[in-house]
Amino acid sequence: MIIIKFPDFIQNNLEKNKNIFKQHIYGCPSCIFEGKLYSHGSYLRNLITEDNTCPITIYRVKCPICDKTHALIPDFLIPYFQHSFNTIKKCLELKYAENASYSNIMNYFRSRNINSYLTASDISIFIKRFISNVPKIRLFFNTFSEIYSTESTSVKDLITFINEYESVSNNSFNLHFFKNMPTYFMCKT
């Protein structure tokens, strides 16, 4: 799996562009090959945002040297999650910044998008994953940003840091975390 950035005009018109932009990918994450990876089919997956639920096309590429295939995940998605990065972040914000209950969180998303399919078990998975990623998130900020976090930096503060990081134009926390860290944001630990 490779996380990639799409041009903003595509990100802003996802429902109209179910077949999202195909781009050339150079360099295999599994071996030392630095050339162009072959196109290798595609599949549909669900994207759930605060406002919408729609299928999007995920392209795959294959390395001509090691034969590994890699799904190209747009940076508004976290690998293996149907809810978008922003939706998951919003869910964590409601929980940690506003102390919202699970049912308040579910009602919030249902009122915005009737097909948001956010369950209590989704919320608890988001929270569990985020908490188990805390040491990596601290390491990311201390190593790759001007933002400094310590062991006493709370989960709530880290979510604020992610927003601060993203407030700089073109900064995609999800993409940069993937590019700089040995794994992806919200990965199983």
Cα 30 to Cα 169: distance, rounded to the nearest angstrom: 30
Answer yes or no whether residue 63 interacts with Zn ion by CB under 5 A: yes
Answer yes or no whether residue 61 interacts with Zn ion by CB under 5 A: no
Sheet of strand 53-62, all strands in order from the earlier edge strand to the far edge: 2-4, 69-74, 53-62, 38-48
CB closer to Zn ion out of 47 and 63 = 63
CB atoms within 10 A of CB 45: 14
Cβ partners under 8 Å of residue 108, min gap 6: 94, 100
Cα 8 to Cα 100: distance, rounded to the nearest angstrom: 31
The residue from 15, 22, 27, 31 that contacts Zn ion (CB under 5 A) is 31
The residue from 6, 21, 33, 117 that contacts Zn ion (CB under 5 A) is 33
Q: Are 25 and 68 a contacting pair, CB within 8 Å?
A: no
The residue from 2, 14, 20, 28 that contacts Zn ion (CB under 5 A) is 28
Answer yes or no whether residue 47 interacts with Zn ion by CB under 5 A: no
Answer yes or no whether residue 30 interacts with Zn ion by CB under 5 A: yes
Q: Are 95 and 127 a contacting pair, CB within 8 Å?
A: yes
Answer yes or no whether residue 162 interacts with Zn ion by CB under 5 A: no
What pairing do the DSSP bridges indicate for beta strands 38-48 and 53-62? Answer: antiparallel
CB closer to Zn ion out of 63 and 92 = 63
Smallest distance, Zn ion to C-beta of residue 163, A: 35
Cα 86 to Cα 65: distance, rounded to the nearest angstrom: 35
CB closer to Zn ion out of 66 and 120 = 66
Answer yes or no whether residue 44 interacts with Zn ion by CB under 5 A: no
Stretch 117-156: interaction string toward Zn ion, x if CB under 5 A: ----------------------------------------
Contacts to Zn ion by CB under 5 A:
28, 30-31, 33, 63, 65-66
